[in-house]
Amino acid sequence: MDFTFSEEHNMLRDMVRKFTANEIKPLAAKIDKEHKVPRELINKAAELGLLGLPFPEKYGGAGMGEIGYCIMLEELSRGCASTAVTIGAHISLCSTAIYLDGTEEQKQKYLVPLAQGKMLGAFGLTEPQAGSDAAAIETTAVRDGDYFVINGSKIWITNGDIADVIVLFAVTDKALRAHGGVTAFIIETKTKGFSVGKIEEKMGIRGSSTAELIFQDMRVPKENVLGQFGAGFITAMKTLDIARLSLAAGCIGASKELLNLSMDFAKKRKQFGKPIGEFQAVQWMLAEMAAEIYAMESMTYRAAWMCDSNIRFSKESAICKMYCSEALDRIVDKAMQIHGGLGYMADYPIERFYRDARINRIFEGTNEIQRMVIAESLLKGGLY
């Protein structure tokens, strides 16, 4: 078994690490304070080919697959979770859904400009009464000749107010719902009948936009049905399987940055006449952080390899999402403890990492849902 990264993957890591150090980290505190990721920063990422990284070159991508994409999200998350989430929602959710189930015409019309950064994408699934119970969505799409008329609303949509293209899920048969009654659509936000409602204020990832979307008699051409009619729920679940891997990768990147900051601080900070890194209590916290990161890396990149190898990985993706998000919380808590009062201050990055980390156990499927997915897979598959 070969666990080494290819030369191309190592070159990618070096490039994104430099981009993060030079372009993202200097802006991270400002992004958090001003609640906005500059579009210029996203454009710079696009110029490096990052917005289409996992997709084939014929669709404007770099052909780096899920392993390459996880490397990219890991490195971006070392600098700024808000930036990583903005780019991640664009790629993992919107662009990936179109790549998975789009027609060739749809891929050329939408995936290519999305991969090139000429358009920004979002993913419209969550509603006021449909969070973990995604099948309970109430937004409707009614056929009217060559169009579908969409009415309803979505909440907590990352990139919702800045997106050009949204993959939207709506009920097309109320009797069937998740079992053939939900359909996915590709919509353009310039379409009449689309509007943005409330922009949320959040505890963490403040720089990423989180918006309410409103649809009032919005007419979408039938050509914009994504995937099979009535199979939207399947499209959503396949997309989320992949998105959860990149979320796990983001947790790895944040954890590595926290460990580095903690090690540096432990060497420099002196108490009782010596560096605090010489105290066993601090050493054990650092060791536990390193062990968590080793486990996170091992499971996430194995699952990414499964994805790239076309091996079913739904259970593994759920495990990665659940474990890595909870491990990050343990790691950031230890980093806060090592830094003491300094870590609690807003002018030091530990405080921002602490706030940003908490959302990972909630979005892209709560960890309670991940446990259900894992257990169902185990019980259906027999002995482990």
Residues 136 and 79 in one domain: no
Residue 224 is part of a domain; what is its CATH number? 2.40.110.10
Q: Which residues of the chain have pLDDT under 50?
A: none
The answer to whether residue 2 sits within a structural domain is no
The reported pLDDT for the residue numbered 134 is: 85
Residues 107 and 15 in one domain: yes
The reported pLDDT for the residue numbered 54 is: 98
Instruction: Report helix angle 280-308 to 314-339, nearest 10.
Output: 160
Residue 197 is encoded by which pair of tokens? 């409602």
Residues 202 and 290 in one domain: no
Residues 219 and 99 in one domain: no
The answer to whether residue 69 sits within a structural domain is yes
CA–CA dist 174, 178 (Å, integer): 9
The reported pLDDT for the residue numbered 81 is: 98
Residues 350 and 249 in one domain: yes
Q: Is 351 a catalytic residue?
A: no
Residues 240 and 355 in one domain: yes
The answer to whether residue 191 sits within a structural domain is yes
The reported pLDDT for the residue numbered 325 is: 98
Residue 149 is encoded by which pair of tokens? 């008329």
The reported pLDDT for the residue numbered 383 is: 67
Residues 344 and 370 in one domain: yes
Residues 68 and 112 in one domain: yes
Residues 140 and 243 in one domain: no
Residues 238 and 350 in one domain: yes
The reported pLDDT for the residue numbered 163 is: 98
Residue 246 is part of a domain; what is its CATH number? 1.20.140.10
User: Which among 191, 217, 192, 121 is positioned nearest to 160, based on CA atoms?
Assistant: 121
Per residue in 314-345, pLDDT tens? 999 999 999 999 999 999 999 999 999 999 99
Residues 247 and 226 in one domain: no
Looking only at the bridges linking them, the beta strands covering 270-271 and 274-275 are: antiparallel
From the candidates 127, 212, 257, 364, give the one annotated as an active-site residue: 364
User: Of 202, 230, 258, which residue sits at a domain end?
Assistant: 230
The answer to whether residue 256 sits within a structural domain is yes
The answer to whether residue 1 sits within a structural domain is no
Angle at 80 between CA 203 and CA 254, to 5 degrees: 90
Longest dimension (CA), the chain: 80
**What values do phi and psi take at 50, rounded to 5?**
-75, -25
The reported pLDDT for the residue numbered 369 is: 96
CA–CA dist 264, 77 (Å, integer): 19
C-alpha distances (whole Å) from 80 to each of 109, 195, 262 are 31, 28, 17
Number of domains in the chain: 3
Residues 257 and 375 in one domain: yes
Residues 6+ apart with CB under 8 A from 291: none
User: Of 74, 92, 119, which residue sits at a domain end?
Assistant: 119
The reported pLDDT for the residue numbered 43 is: 97
Structural domain of residue 196, as residue ranges?
122-230
The answer to whether residue 187 sits within a structural domain is yes
Residues 6+ apart with CB under 8 A from 128: 153, 155
Q: Are 64 and 207 in contact (CB under 8 A)?
A: no
Residue 371 is encoded by which pair of tokens? 């446990």
User: Of 119, 153, 183, which residue sits at a domain end?
Assistant: 119
The answer to whether residue 351 sits within a structural domain is yes
The reported pLDDT for the residue numbered 295 is: 98
